[in-house]
Structure 1
Amino acid sequence: MTSLRNFRPIIVFFSLALVLLSLSRVSLLVWQHKQLSQWQDIFYILLQGLRVDIATLCWLYTLPAFLLALLPTSGKFGRGFVFVLRSWLVCGLVVLAYMELATPSFILEYNLRPNRLFIEYLVYPKEVFSMLWKGYKLPLFLGLAGATLVGFYSWRLSGKLTQTGNQPRWWTRPILAVCVVAFGIMGARSTLQHRPLNPALVAFSTNPLLNDLVLNSSYSLVFAAKSMASERNAEEYYGDMPLNDVIATIKRYSPSSTNYIASDTIPTLNVRHPSEAKRKNLVILLQESLGAQFVGRLGGLPLTPHLDNLMDEGWNFTQIYATGTRSVRGIEAITTGFTPTPSRAVVKLSKSQTGFFSIASLLQQKGYTTQFIYGGESHFDNMKSFFLGNGFQDIIDFPQFDQPRFVGSWGVSDQDLYTMADKQFRRLHQSGKPFFSLVFTSSNHSPYEYPDSQITPYSQEKHTRFNAVKYADKALGDFIHQAQQSDYWKDTIFLIIADHDARAVGALPVPIKHFHIPALILGKDIPPREDNRLASSIDMPPTLLSLIGVESISPMIGHDLTRPLSRHYQRALMQFDKNFAYLTHDSVIVLRPDKAPLGYYYDAKSQTARPQPVTDVMIKRAKAHALIGGKLYRQGLYTVPSTHITEASVLAQHHDEQPQKSELTTTPVTNIDPTSSCTQNVPYAHPTAH
């Protein structure tokens, strides 16, 4: 009994923490009850959640319990140890409480518990604190107030619990310490299997949020930090394939217009011939969080009248899907054509900061001026470092905006951004040198700040996403109208595309409908057309290079949509946390960590899915596309072709390697409809011919 009394502080705080985490989980379940598919889910979540909580608390309290078993609590040294013990107990409980209080706001934004995004945002305290203060005052206040109250009362309680009393005899202490460690490790592992408890072990649903409710937010955050530190490879999640098999599979599902070239240093090296002879400027207007759900012409809310009208003036893609749910993932796809991975986007990875392929580096070699224009701080999400290391010559961000009309948490308004862009384009056009500019908006981002008197609000409360979308649309429409009156319009191709949707919510392990985004190509010589082919963000860079008259030699595997593309080759790639989806016209394969792949029949019109049997061929196709990015990144194989590999030598090599040249000759784009599914004039080249 003396021994148990000695551990009373640990036992009481362990119990309090367990009650706190359980109450939080019950509250979240009540709030999100509509996401439950069957009542049995409740018992599973609560029971397995208790298991996760016990494991979490064993990790938290085993060390102080071990020290409490060995060290005295009286005397000068003992008083010092008691202070450290109390601090540990109180701080641990405060962190647990704060993370649970912060969870509802995070779920509202990301439909998941706090994860790696929570950690990544902490790297940028200025922008994030401004966002929290302006957009999340109440949750921020409640979180801080709740954590403060927990800290105050738990400190008082710890003082009573650690008052010096009878202590175990010295010879029993080592035995107690060994027992504490043994029970602590057993509780933390929570299983006798080879691998300890992890999120995959307790995952039970195709709905990511329900799986996350089994966890607690502190566990979710620590697991995310551990994963970030190790940057686990896709092979560890989905199983491995030899690189040669991966490359062969990728080529097998590439149309003949993607002419691969034998290369040991760049396995996916290919040459693309432009559809236009005249060199043109390129401008990409990357829209923050503009999912199809907000675009009227794509079946969404009536929030984008300007974009809807512009879709009648250009090349409108109705079935484009983003590769992820973060801006850096969108930047990765649009500027590099790189496939998504379960790791962080290459914008933030260390090995891709220099020498990594981007269309900026390619266009810089072609004599283009390349620039990035952003209304905020370009160091956010490591954009500035990545861009400067990979072909972008000029970075224009917040410090260079002179007296902007409106400044929010994320920088200047979209109107100020486009004013700067127009100024830059006029200057660059006058220089007579072709240019490429990536313009990244930010007004449609929490806390949704924009200038007054610019729009008729869609919702009564001003600072909502709906109103922010309307404002972003107005700013975009005004800019395009202004650009159409400029001298640079006739020599420039514009792409309007979203980086990702605002939220990714749904019962599927990858909520496909929330990856659907708008994509519109505009220009003086771009005829109006509606393109219903299924495509991915990674298809945009090859398409744009073809449209601006640039013959490219690159490692990009995306499709050039100026060429015919049959349904057989159409696909979209999506990464949602650790799940990867490979979408085709009527089905989707989802790869999950440590679990069997899932198959669904998917109807894009109704955005509904029903289970479908999967075949080995389907799995291999999906797995190859899930693995290729990580393999190329780790081995440094997704890079800019060496300067000694000139276009002439590559094209000569390509010519020599084609025994039946006529089978690989593509029909000029001027003689075909790019939206057609017909491929009889563009036969497929089997990988063995490359």
Structure 2
Amino acid sequence: MSKLFPKRFALLKAYITLFLILSFIIRLSFLFWNFSEVDKNLFTLGNTFIIGFLFDVATISFFTIPYLIYLILFPKRFYGSILDKVITYFGFSLGVLIVFFSFFGELTFWDEFQRRYNFIAVDYLIYTYEVVKNINESYPLPILISAMLALVLTSIFIIYKLNYFSKTFNSQTSFKSKLIATIPWGAVVVISICFVTNKSADFSDNRYNNELAKSGIYSFFAAFRNNELPYSEFYKTIPKALAYKTVKASYIDSKNILVNSNENAIYRTIINSDSILKPTKPNVIFICIESLSGDFLKEFGNKSNITPTLDSLANNSLFFENLYATGTRTVRGMEAITLSIPPTPGRSIVKRRNNQGLFTIGEVFKQQGYERNFFYGGDGYFDNMNTYFGGNGFNIVDRGRGFLLDKSITTTRTNIEDNEVTFENAWGVCDMDIYNKVLKEADKAHETGVPFFDFVMTTSNHKPYTYPEGKIDIPSGAGRHGAVKYTDYTIGEFIKKAKAKAWYNNTVFVIMSDHCASSAGRWELDVKNYHIPGLIFNLPNQEPKKVNKLASQIDVFPTLFSALNWDYKSNLFGKDIMSMQPQDERAFIGNYRKLGYLKDEKVLILDEQANANFYSWNPVDNSLGSIPTEEKFEQKSISFYQVADDLYRSEGLKIKSK
């Protein structure tokens, strides 16, 4: 031990020990936090903590490098000098502060996502205003900061009293001894860079055990390096020609005509009208509800009566009972809804470069002569929304402080003014305020005689779950159920106000969640945590109907276009749910690494290690059980994901020039 930590390295030893102790405490805390979900088999738990310890050692090895360089290069004759003490005290204090800050951050991140740091944490670095404000509104920040600083000072004081500083300053360690002590840590860093990935912690079928085994800081930097995942480089593939042939075969019917059947493309003409069914062009208002899981609705068994409006609409609309979100974040929902595409690995296309001029549902509305608008109660700079929507032909209505990221985008931008705001939190104005703005802009649009399509993104059902007091019987900030009930209440008020408008009878309302309230679970992908509500209300010539066909978020707007009897050019993957045959029913689910294809209570899950794991899904207890792979099932699953990613990267999703 003296060779690994000679006297000059005493403070380094103290720092490493502190880090490992805190890492163990955090891991133990998360274990008890989700104790009911964790695999408690002693062998599995043992592996969880052993692998976790190894990841902690790998993580702290990176932290040691700057200090080791200093220890090696700083001359022996200046040990204990004023300069040495100033640099050491400052560096050590900063290092301890970073460690405590990281661990406190992990607690809030786990509270929200039940995961270690991942690409979401990386993305949030860009949007510090919204994130910091949200944390401040969600947690007692002054208390947390005070507690953190108190722990930092206490740790430094204890280490000081244990004479670690004194040993460091009063040592006579030679250059050779320092070099020998440095080599093991350098070796750990090299091994970690070359051979250890975050995936190495995924040793169990239980996702919680895998997350516990990881180190938050290591996970953060792993996500920073790997938020782009080209499908062909990381995932199981089949010959490209076969993948395209498989996908295109699913669109061969009397309504779909491929523009060029020889190309690697799905661009086609869709025919919905005939001599009897003439196209109609009502206004369309789409409400994308933040984080609304299906199980919040009474329709799906909830007993709390927190969604009376949506439960009523379920009985008076075209209501999709078996609908699944493609992902776990708002931008992933936006991607699925607007591009009508299966999820591609890595970050959402909404946040990527080269995501303008794409064939979105907005292009279909444009073909039909519609004005297209995107409404958001916060600043659409967040998550690159303004650049994405503005770059794909939508006018922007938001609570903008910033600017479009790409100055080359020319689009109309309307601000939600201060006098239009009654309540605002970290994520923007309350839902009723955004709906009032939609009503105001719809009145203006109605006067022009041009039909409009409004994409409205709500925010009230998001932590910190705050909203105007006195609107519902649950106090603001009391938790998710209150936010859900307020969200539902505002939808009811919005439709009530809309009914008084001249344009109401000629307006269709589409309502769907962007994703569920939580994606966390013990399985590779927790299927139940992708089940969302979706409906089309006030549709002309359509009796209320509950549709139990298995479908995806990507199918809702193609279903609307069919219901309106539109003929149009399409580059969309989605299908008309109403005309789906049993063999057509399927859903795409995923997170940024894992991609799932759900059909007939079976799910194939693809990951970036080129694995294709096949499971039976039990809807009763939401469990997955491994089963032998079915070749055709696997081929179809891979084909859709491989083709979707290839089309994006080859610019096959771009609008075709005439």
Query: TM-score, normalization: structure 1?
Result: 0.85
**C-alpha separation between the residues in 1 aligned to 2:567 and 2:12?**
68
- Name the stretch that deviates more: 377-386 or 101-110: 101-110
| CA 1:389–1:266: 2 relative to 1, 3 Å | farther
Q: Map of 1:1-150 to 2, 5 A cutoff?
A: 4-37=6-39, 38-72=41-75, 74-75=77-78, 80=83, 83-137=86-140, 141-142=143-144, 145-147=147-149, 149-150=151-152
> Corresponding residue for 1:523?
538
For the 8 Å contact 2:386–2:396, the answer to whether it is kept is no
Q: Map of 1:197-208 to 2, 5 A cutoff?
A: 197-208=196-207
**C-alpha separation between the residues in 1 aligned to 2:144 and 2:83?**
33
**C-alpha separation between the residues in 1 aligned to 2:92 and 2:638?**
45
Q: Which of 270, 273, 288 pairs up with 2:271?
A: 273
| 2:470 aligned with 1:465 | no
| 2:553 aligned with 1:552 | no
**C-alpha separation between the residues in 2 aligned to 1:601 and 1:529?**
29
For the 8 Å contact 1:444–1:468, the answer to whether it is kept is yes
**C-alpha separation between the residues in 2 aligned to 1:346 and 1:81?**
49
| 2:423 aligned with 1:426 | no
**C-alpha separation between the residues in 1 aligned to 2:270 and 2:399?**
33
For the 8 Å contact 1:370–1:394, the answer to whether it is kept is no
For the 8 Å contact 1:374–1:439, the answer to whether it is kept is yes
> Corresponding residue for 1:167?
172
| 2:242 aligned with 1:241 | no
For the 8 Å contact 2:236–2:610, the answer to whether it is kept is no
Structure 1 unaligned runs (5+)?
645-690
C-alpha displacement at 1:83, in angstroms? 4.0
For the 8 Å contact 1:270–1:554, the answer to whether it is kept is yes
> Corresponding residue for 1:659?
none
For the 8 Å contact 1:444–1:472, the answer to whether it is kept is yes
**C-alpha separation between the residues in 2 aligned to 1:623 and 1:81?**
59
Q: Which of 259, 262, 267 pairs up with 1:261?
A: 259
Q: What's the secondary structure of 2:328's corresponding residue? A: coil
Q: Which of 441, 454, 461 pairs up with 2:458?
A: 441
Equivalent position amino acid for 1:330 in 2: G
| CA 1:634–1:80: 2 relative to 1, 3 Å | farther
Listed one character per residue, the Cα deviations across residues 426-477 of structure 1 (whole Å, up to 9, x for unaligned) are 22122111111101111111111111111122xx785311011111101101
| CA 1:419–1:214: 2 relative to 1, 3 Å | same
**C-alpha separation between the residues in 1 aligned to 2:560 and 2:128?**
36
**C-alpha separation between the residues in 1 aligned to 2:186 and 2:645?**
34
For the 8 Å contact 1:572–1:582, the answer to whether it is kept is yes
For the 8 Å contact 1:17–1:96, the answer to whether it is kept is yes
| CA 1:255–1:135: 2 relative to 1, 3 Å | farther
| CA 1:68–1:621: 2 relative to 1, 3 Å | same
Alignment coverage as a number of residue pairs: 630
| 2:321 aligned with 1:318 | yes
Q: What's the secondary structure of 2:582's corresponding residue? A: coil
Q: Map of 1:375-454 to 2, 5 A cutoff?
A: 375-397=377-399, 399-401=415-417, 402-454=419-471
C-alpha displacement at 1:129, in angstroms? 2.1
C-alpha displacement at 1:180, in angstroms? 4.9
**C-alpha separation between the residues in 1 aligned to 2:31 and 2:558?**
45
For the 8 Å contact 1:283–1:439, the answer to whether it is kept is yes
Listed one character per residue, the Cα deviations across residues 629-661 of structure 1 (whole Å, up to 9, x for unaligned) are 32222221111111x2xxxxxxxxxxxxxxxxx
C-alpha displacement at 1:161, in angstroms? 4.6
| CA 1:10–1:482: 2 relative to 1, 3 Å | same
Q: Map of 1:196-235 to 2, 5 A cutoff?
A: 196-228=195-227, 231-235=228-232
Q: What's the secondary structure of 1:109's corresponding residue? A: helix
Equivalent position amino acid for 2:122 in 1: I
Q: What's the secondary structure of 2:6's corresponding residue? A: helix
Q: Map of 1:257-656 to 2, 5 A cutoff?
A: 257-262=255-260, 267-275=265-273, 276-301=278-303, 302-352=305-355, 354-397=356-399, 399-401=415-417, 402-457=419-474, 462-525=477-540, 526-562=542-578, 564-594=579-609, 596-604=611-619, 607-642=622-657, 644=658
Q: What's the secondary structure of 1:633's corresponding residue? A: helix
For the 8 Å contact 1:501–1:514, the answer to whether it is kept is yes
For the 8 Å contact 2:11–2:168, the answer to whether it is kept is no
**C-alpha separation between the residues in 1 aligned to 2:476 and 2:358?**
44
**C-alpha separation between the residues in 1 aligned to 2:340 and 2:436?**
28
Equivalent position amino acid for 2:426 in 1: S
> Corresponding residue for 2:411?
none
Equivalent position amino acid for 2:283 in 1: N
Equivalent position amino acid for 1:92 in 2: G
**C-alpha separation between the residues in 1 aligned to 2:567 and 2:76?**
76
**C-alpha separation between the residues in 2 aligned to 1:57 and 1:216?**
10
Q: What's the secondary structure of 1:33's corresponding residue? A: coil
For the 8 Å contact 1:65–1:180, the answer to whether it is kept is no
**C-alpha separation between the residues in 2 aligned to 1:421 and 1:169?**
73
- Name the stretch that deviates more: 360-369 or 306-315: 360-369
C-alpha displacement at 1:549, in angstroms? 4.2
For the 8 Å contact 2:38–2:522, the answer to whether it is kept is no
**C-alpha separation between the residues in 1 aligned to 2:566 and 2:264?**
20
| CA 1:267–1:598: 2 relative to 1, 3 Å | same
| CA 1:196–1:425: 2 relative to 1, 3 Å | same
| CA 1:143–1:572: 2 relative to 1, 3 Å | farther
C-alpha displacement at 1:324, in angstroms? 0.6
C-alpha displacement at 1:508, in angstroms? 1.4
* Aligned-residue CA RMSD (Å): 2.6
**C-alpha separation between the residues in 1 aligned to 2:112 and 2:642?**
29
Q: What's the secondary structure of 1:323's corresponding residue? A: coil
Between the two proteins, what is the percent identity of the paired residues? 27
**C-alpha separation between the residues in 1 aligned to 2:591 and 2:269?**
31
Q: What's the secondary structure of 1:376's corresponding residue? A: coil
**C-alpha separation between the residues in 1 aligned to 2:242 and 2:84?**
59
For the 8 Å contact 1:281–1:548, the answer to whether it is kept is no
For the 8 Å contact 1:73–1:164, the answer to whether it is kept is no
